[in-house]
Amino acid sequence: MTPLANALACLIALGCALFLWRKGSSPYRNGALLAGFLLLFGVFTYFGGEMFDARSINLSLEMYPFRMMALCLCLSTTSLALYRRRYLVLAQALWFWVELFGGIALFYRGLDVAWTRILAIFWMGFCSTFLSKISKEMEFCLMVFWLAVWVFF
Amino acid sequence: MFRYLMAVGLVLFLPGLYALGLSLYDGPSAWMVDSQTFWGTPISLFVFWIGLAHAGTLLSAVFVALDIKLDRRTALIAELSTLSSLVFAAIYPLMHLGVIENFYMVAPFADARGNFANVRSPLVWDFCCIAVYALLSLLFFVTHLKARKTPSLEKYRKPMAWLLFPLVLWVHTIVSLDFATTFVPEWRGAFFPVYFIAGAIFSGLALVNLILCTEGYRVRLLERLQLICSWFMCAIWIWDFMLKGSFCTSAFVFAGLFPQLRMVSVIRENKWGRVALSLSVLLGLFLERLYLVSPEFGSSATATFGWVDLGLLMFSVGGFMLVFFGARRLLDRYAESAGSYFGEVDGSDMAKAEEAEEAEREGFRGIEKTKKGFYIQPWSSEEYRQLRFPLLLGVVVTALFTLWIFEQQSFENVELSFANVIPLWYPLFAFMAALTLFVRAYFVEKSFVLHRAEKIIGGALLLCLGACAGAFFAGGASEKPVEQFVRDMDAVSGVHAEDLNRVAMVWNARCATCHGTDGRFNEKFVREYYPVPQKLDLARLDSLGVDSLVRVVWNGRNNMNSYAGRLTLDEARGLVLYMRHLAQKVPEEETEGKK
């Protein structure tokens, strides 16, 4: 996938995050949205990563829609009204999970594990557990960090 | 009701038992085996039951951890279903190995005994993860059961729930890596961990909803979650289709489309409608597992679901019904007071739990509120003893284990990466933390009271575990000297029977896992490790020469590990000569067979 498409993926995840966990929304709405987003991320990865072309298949894209989903969940937690820290840590744990075990699966098939990205997410998740109050500024810093990890690592 | 269900279980179980016996006697040829992946029905059933085993932890531990209220009765039923499912999940991988008596070779002792076919194999992780998961689930269930009579145990549930929450996800992730780390095109998927977890949660929810129907009540939250899970599964299946171009239509219909009928109120409000929806999900996910494990299923004449496969399925379903409803009746009679019936569903338990939580918030855990804010006593607080100390101990033990692994002399010639060891970290960490909590509850606080019968059973289990661990770890067979054999043995003939036995023991301990006891290699097992080793052939062995083969044994080759430091040169030479002896026997037997 080109760096431009990768950055676009980031924007799509950010856009999707806006629709999650609206006040008074039912579990059905949020569940349907998440499933729909996953489908959208899958379609984006298929065309953005040119996976229709068997000659240029990139193995690391196998988990790309799930990475996008994890990023979307991370970004969406900043808009939560209650239990923000808990779900913020859990969303980062999901991202870490997808990256770590996806990386191990690919490692056995000959690819290198993206240790820098994994460690960055781990440390951010770990440090987030110590956040006592998440201010607007801190929300912004977290989002910048996640987007930076996505784009640069 | 439970008696009737147990009778149905027995009717399914008995013919299933016959199929199981036949399968064990005949070996892998008895059941459906995919010619491409060499995996078959036992692995499908393993994945299916291990998925169902997630219900208990999902519904109880995860809900406790996330403060989502669930009544005691539903939680206990879910936990019991986990334990019952695990019994059957554990049977099938043993069958699949083909060499059941060698199952200990996948125990996480690294290469202490020098008999791992491949220390980097994901199969090594399974044993450790599932064993720890079973143990912690049992501990969690017993704690929950005893908490009614001993309320002080209630405070241990939340730390244990937080330990089990990642563990339940970890276990299914590890199971998914058995597939995702291979080169089989249909199992290509770095997303398999998430896929498997979603499938496991979906099937676990369907099982609990089905069991709740037999109990005569429903929990709408779980039904909603089941429907939402079906949407996720559909999205994942579509991604899988985009990636590989193949699709299991029957799974999509039964587990993807039919569950949408829950949106029709007539079906949703009818008990039999709910039963049908849950059964449809379970059927769909079972078919999906069959398709996943054996991609040829339904499209090839060789991969047909026969009577033995059906018998194995009946064995597990019938066995589950017997174990679950049997335990349910027994616990109802002995563990819970008459009439309380595994807890109430009128919300009284939840009210009590809320009161307890409120009390906890008001100054428990050694947190002293002062005008300046919180002050947490670092070493003597309740929080430290219940939470931080077990976690720290878990981290220390895991770190020591990792150091020990990398310090093993036998791994010097094996390129071992962190990626090979990381999957063992969390189970070890969780095990140590849970053990510390248990020791504290039992020995220090004495709140975990065990009856005499429970103590005897627990003690016997511990002794048994210790003896097994000691025996697996110590080994013994490979320590017998073979110098005598090497000195006396002629390279081609004139082998003394007693000496032959000694080398045969070394061969069986070190080499038979892959190469087979008869030298024709254990094909069923070896297919997990690419590339497949060469078959023993006299002409090929002679062309390579004894010295060259000794070097292969000594230094390793492809997926074969180095045995330098674990065998003496004489032993290695003895093995090469024994290999030649076996190679001589193979053509003889084949010639006799042709005659």
Tens-digit pLDDT profile for residues A104-132? 888 888 888 889 999 999 999 988 888 87
Amino acid found at B395: V
Question: Could you give the residue ranges of the DSSP H alpha helices within B294-407?
Answer: 307-334, 348-361, 382-383, 389-407
B471-474 contacts, C-beta under 8 A, 24 or more apart: B472/B104, B472/B107, B472/B109, B472/B113, B473/B109, B473/B112, B473/B113, B474/B113
Mean pLDDT value of segment A74-93: 89
Instruction: Return the pLDDT at B33.
Output: 76
The class (CATH top level) of B2-359 is mainly alpha
For chain B, give the number of residues: 595
pLDDT tens by residue, B221-233:
888 999 999 999 9
Is the minimum CB–CB distance between A33 and chain B shorter than 8 Å? no
In whole angstroms, give the CA distance from residue B131 to residue B503. Answer: 34
pLDDT tens per residue, range B444-483: 888 777 788 888 888 888 888 887 777 666 554 333 344 4
Q: Do B235 and A63 touch (CB under 8 A)?
A: no
Chain B contact present for A133, CB below 8 A: no
Q: Which residues pair with B557 in a beta bridge?
A: B560
Distance CA B269, CA B273 (A): 7
Q: Which residue out of A59, A101, A112, A130 would a mutagenesis test of the B interface target, given it has the greatest number of B Cβ atoms within 10 Å?
A: A101
Q: Domain spans of chain B?
A: 2-359, 368-444, 479-594
pLDDT at residue number B337: 46
DSSP string across B331-343: HHHHTS-TTT-SS
ipTM value, please give it: 0.94
Q: Which two tokens stand for residue B90?
A: 């554990």
Which residues of chain B lie closer than 8 angstroms to A125, CB-CB? Answer: none
Decide which of 1.25.40.10, 3.40.50.620, 1.10.10.10, 1.10.760.10 is the CATH code for B479-594: 1.10.760.10
Binary contact (A35, B234; C-beta < 8 A): yes
Q: What percent of chain B has pLDDT over 90?
A: 16
Q: Pick from B194, B240, B422 the residue to mutate for testing the A interface (most A CBs within 10 Å).
A: B194
What pLDDT, on a 0 to 100 scale, did the predictor assign at position B357? 54
Residue bearing the bigger pLDDT, A10 or B96:
A10
Q: What is the CA radius of gyration of chain B?
A: 27
Give B253 or B296, the one with higher predicted confidence: B253
